[in-house]
Amino acid sequence: MNKDIEKVLVDEQELDSIVKSLAEKIDADYEGKNWLMVGVLKGSVLFMADLMKTMKNDFKIDFVVVSSYADGTQSTGRVNILKDVSQPVDGMDILIVEDIIDSGNTLSFLVKYFLAKGAVSVKIVTLFDKPDRRQVEVPVEYVGKVIPDAFIVGYGLDYAEEYRTLPYVGILKPEVYS
């Protein structure tokens, strides 16, 4: 195990089963639609890849890059789009893929942003949810796992751009960021 990880919160096997169960639900709900999956880079990259190959439906994909965190562990509340989707979204059903919802600022911003650009529907799938930390209410259609208030890394999630390549999700030792 990585020396900066206090404990493994979700191992590879559990990640697989979470992805499988979300993929089944989304497949059923989006059957027959012409829709766009939008990943929020970079944290969602492994989750989205696993979801895509597990799902039976075909669909279009795109990505956004947003920033609100700088290199800390607390949301600043201000969200900026650093990279937008590269196709029109008007008339589309959109499913945003996020690694984790914390304050809710990022997803609340993105939902409004895509609706303003003309999307017909904007729903959210998030791998993790930390409901105790919510500052803004956001309806989330699909949640992989609800977790306690701890800073987690791995399987795409980072702290200051590190730990994204870990195949499991672990709680970061607080001394690493304090």
- Does 106 contact ligand IMP by CB under 6 A? yes
Binding track, positions 81-100, relative to ligand IMP; x by CB under 6 A = -----------------xxx
Residue 102 burial class via C-beta count within 10 angstroms: exposed 0-12, middle 13-18, buried 19 and up: buried
> Cα angle vertex 38, ends 37, 42, to 5°?
130
Rounded to a whole number of angstroms, the minimum distance from the CB of residue 119 to ligand IMP is 20
- Does 101 contact ligand IMP by CB under 6 A? yes
Please name which of 51, 70, 82 lies closest in space to residue 156, comparing C-alpha atoms: 51
> Cα angle vertex 42, ends 36, 45, to 5°?
60
Residues 26 to 55: which contact ligand IMP by CB under 6 A?
A: 40, 43
Rounded to a whole number of angstroms, the minimum distance from the CB of residue 19 to ligand IMP is 17
Reduced to 3 states (helix: H, G, I; strand: E, B; else coil), residue 5 is: strand
Task: From the list ligand IMP, Mg ion, none, pick the one residue 151 interacts with, judged by a Cβ distance below 5 to 8 Å according to partner type.
Answer: ligand IMP
For ligand IMP, the closer of residues 35 and 128 by Cβ is 128
For ligand IMP, the closer of residues 43 and 144 by Cβ is 43
Q: Tell me which of 43, 144, 156, 170 binds Mg ion, using CB under 5 A.
A: 43
Q: Tell me, what amino acid is at 144?
A: G
Q: Is 102 among the residues known to form the active site?
A: yes
β-strand pairing of 93-101 with 80-83: unpaired
- Does 155 contact ligand IMP by CB under 6 A? no
> Cα angle vertex 16, ends 96, 5, to 5°?
90
Q: Sign (positive/negative) of CA torsion 57, 48, 22, 19? A: positive
Which amino acids are annotated catalytic?
A: 102
Write out the residues near ligand IMP by the rule CB under 6 A.
40, 43, 68-69, 75, 98-106, 151-153, 157
